[in-house]
Structure 1
Amino acid sequence: MKKILQRCALCCALWGVLVAQPLAQSLDALDESTFELVNLYQQKGITSVQEKLESYLLSVPYWLKVVGERDVSYGYFQTTRYVFVSDKALPDLRLFKVTNQGFELLGSSSALVAQGKGHKKLEGDLTTPIGVYDLTARLSGLPPYYGPLAFATNYPNTYDRSLRRTGSGIWIHGLPLDGNREELNTKGCIAIDNELLKKYDGLVDYRDSIVIISEGELRTMNAMQAAQILAGLYAWKEMWKKGDLAGYLKFYDKENFVRQDGMRYKAFAEYKSRIFAKNEEKQIEISGIDIAPFPNGEGREMYRVNFRQDYRALLNGKVSFSSSHRKDLYVWLQEGEMKILSEK
């Protein structure tokens, strides 16, 4: 049924090209690419048109056109609406709203962070983490130390877990309600003025917000990097869908890949080899793509890629496995090619 609906949608789109204006005018207005698609449909049917359209998604020039003049310094987002950015070396906290043009600054202030330097590694090391984190909850009714409310993060994320970093309870919260501000360090959180925090609470929904935490100036993203990652993401999906094991594994960093559960590249490749050997038909759809520059200590152009993945495997026409969830890839660009360092 899903394939039938997809084909109907493609047919309607093609027909819309022709009926949106008088036929003679529309034929004159057809550009070369549209003519190619219509001709392909006439000769080989709608499946060939779908394959052609999907091939564009593997193209860096296509994604450069999608990004256009948009500012993607703090990321390319299809679902995220608000981005907190903190440089813990200052320390500060800024809030941006994601717009069609890029980012609108909603607020900026100094902040308090933990005294530890570098990446947070262990529970109780009094260090604020570095990386990209989802906001997972809005907390209230807390002890007065945390101010009027807090936004919880998902530290440790997939990448942290792959490196066996531990700890929990990393929040964006307020200052002590009793006015005692003698303590200038947190236990690992980011703390800001209570009135500003309440203002932010009235602006954002934590469910579509993230925080990017760096130590020193953030290495931002540009349009070419966003396009290379987007094209790489769809090429990775295409290799997976086709069952091309060698092509699929080329997207993984042989030297540095570690899955969240500790599985390294060699074991991962052997595991995937067994899966691919089943010769299942795969239906893979990805949507709601968010890409954010990922601060790290390795000096890499590193990014978190988060998206919705709908997956179905069929064996002899019957569904053998299915899943639907948001997926994380932690990637870097090696001479413009996407390489996966960790995934969940």
Structure 2
Amino acid sequence: MRFLILFLVTFLYSANLIDIYRFNGSDALSEHIEKILGSKTYWLERLQNKDVTWGYYETQKDILVCVKSKKILKIFENNDSTFKLIDTVKVLTGLDGDKKKEGDLKTPIGVYKLKGLIENVDSFYGPFAFVTGYPNLFDKINHKNGHGIWIHGVPLEGKRDDNNTKGCIVMDNNKLLQLKNEINYKDTYLLISENVPLTATKEEIASILAFIYKWRKAWMNNDFESYKNFYDESFKKSDGKDLKEFLDYKKRVFENKKYQKVEIYFKDIDIVPYQNINNKKIFRINMFEKYISKNYKYAGPKELYVKFTNDGLKIIAEK
């Protein structure tokens, strides 16, 4: 069976591409490639030798995994499609449960980028602090608030009076200094779970990659009837639009571009298993998008949150 799959993939995805172009031209070739990109089988083959335990990354990313109940932070180096465990560090975190509002003293559960490094901090926080991206888009659409969630050290003089970190992740200063040397914070994701962290499988990642390109195809073709089916009833846009408001807007856009050529390209795709208190199969997707039409161009970041439902994958948030 394995040999048969390899044979079919090789035949369908490479051998006949030149003949498709020879006999039917570039449009037919483009259509064929779109079908390939929307195929889970294709992506499973691409993922054959990749480790996707902590997600799928098309550029170099370091991964930090904090497990609140165990008071540990695991540091992974993503090297040549494998995740190498560099260190496991003892940490302090906030109160149990997910952070929902300012002042609840809880460390948030989710996936965050490290947004900055503050070196001029009060000595209570140690030598410096990493700033996390809390609240992220998913937090905001779920009406979570608060700020100032850091990874920092312990007082340079004296000791902490208690273990209440007010939501931050706190570690020994020597370990904090070591962490600074082990990661590039600008290319680091922080995954925070309460208990057992959510991980990813190749089946899930392949399904998501195929989903992204099917969604892109409907978008490029101004196929509103197909496009709307990619979205969940709970969907929220970063500007506050709910599903109905968003789809009403997109329908008008599609109608205005009905006879226009639209090109959309994605690169530097990151797919991260989104840690959540209910252990739902949710994934955060970050990528670089290039959008080109007759009267509008965009090149910049794109952020999606998707979940597996009984009706397949659905987009639940978008920016």
Fold shared per TM-score above 0.5 = yes
RMSD after superposition: 1.6
- The Cα offsets for residues 129-169 of structure 1, whole Å up to 9 and x where unpaired, read as 11000111111021011111111111110111111211111
User: Deviating runs (4+, > 6 A) in structure 1?
Assistant: none
State the partner residue of 1:292.
Answer: 272
One-letter amino acid matched to 2:59: T
State the partner residue of 1:325.
Answer: 300
Q: So what's the TM-score if we normalise by structure 2?
A: 0.92
Specify every segment of 5 or more residues in structure 1 that has no aligned partner in the other structure, as ranges.
Answer: 1-30, 315-319
Counterpart among 252, 261, 265 of residue 239 in structure 2: 261
Aligned in 2, Cα 1:291/1:53: closer, same or farther, shift over 3 Å? same
Query: Structure 1: how far apart are the matches of 2:224 and 2:157?
Result: 60
State the partner residue of 1:303.
Answer: 283
State the partner residue of 2:179.
Answer: 200
Which SS does the other structure have where 1:54 is aligned?
Answer: helix
Between stretches 73-82 and 224-233, larger displacement belongs to 73-82
Query: Structure 2: how far apart are the matches of 1:85 and 1:331?
Result: 20
Aligned in 2, Cα 1:301/1:322: closer, same or farther, shift over 3 Å? same
Which SS does the other structure have where 2:232 is aligned?
Answer: coil
One-letter amino acid matched to 1:92: I
Between stretches 178-187 and 234-243, larger displacement belongs to 178-187
State the partner residue of 2:315.
Answer: 340
Query: Structure 2: how far apart are the matches of 1:293 and 1:266?
Result: 27
One-letter amino acid matched to 1:244: D
Whether the 8 Å contact between 1:311 and 1:322 is mirrored in structure 2 is yes
Asked if 1:67 corresponds to 2:42, the answer is no
State the partner residue of 1:154.
Answer: 133
Which SS does the other structure have where 1:253 is aligned?
Answer: strand
Which SS does the other structure have where 2:262 is aligned?
Answer: strand
One-letter amino acid matched to 2:86: L
Whether the 8 Å contact between 2:34 and 2:217 is mirrored in structure 1 is no
Aligned residues: 307
Identity rate, percent: 36
Which SS does the other structure have where 2:51 is aligned?
Answer: coil
State the partner residue of 1:171.
Answer: 150
Whether the 8 Å contact between 1:162 and 1:261 is mirrored in structure 2 is no
Offset of residue 44 of structure 1: 1.9
Whether the 8 Å contact between 2:220 and 2:264 is mirrored in structure 1 is yes
Asked if 1:274 corresponds to 2:252, the answer is yes
One-letter amino acid matched to 1:188: G
Q: So what's the TM-score if we normalise by structure 1?
A: 0.85
Whether the 8 Å contact between 1:253 and 1:340 is mirrored in structure 2 is yes
Whether the 8 Å contact between 1:97 and 1:105 is mirrored in structure 2 is yes
- Higher radius of gyration, 1 or 2: 1
Which SS does the other structure have where 2:271 is aligned?
Answer: strand
Query: Structure 2: how far apart are the matches of 1:66 and 1:100?
Result: 14
One-letter amino acid matched to 2:26: I
Query: Structure 2: how far apart are the matches of 1:130 and 1:275?
Result: 36
- The Cα offsets for residues 202-238 of structure 1, whole Å up to 9 and x where unpaired, read as 1211111110001110121100000000100111111
Map of 1:1-344 to 2, 5 A cutoff? Answer: 32-33=11-12, 34-115=14-95, 117-254=96-233, 256-278=234-256, 279=258, 280-314=260-294, 320-335=295-310, 337-344=312-319
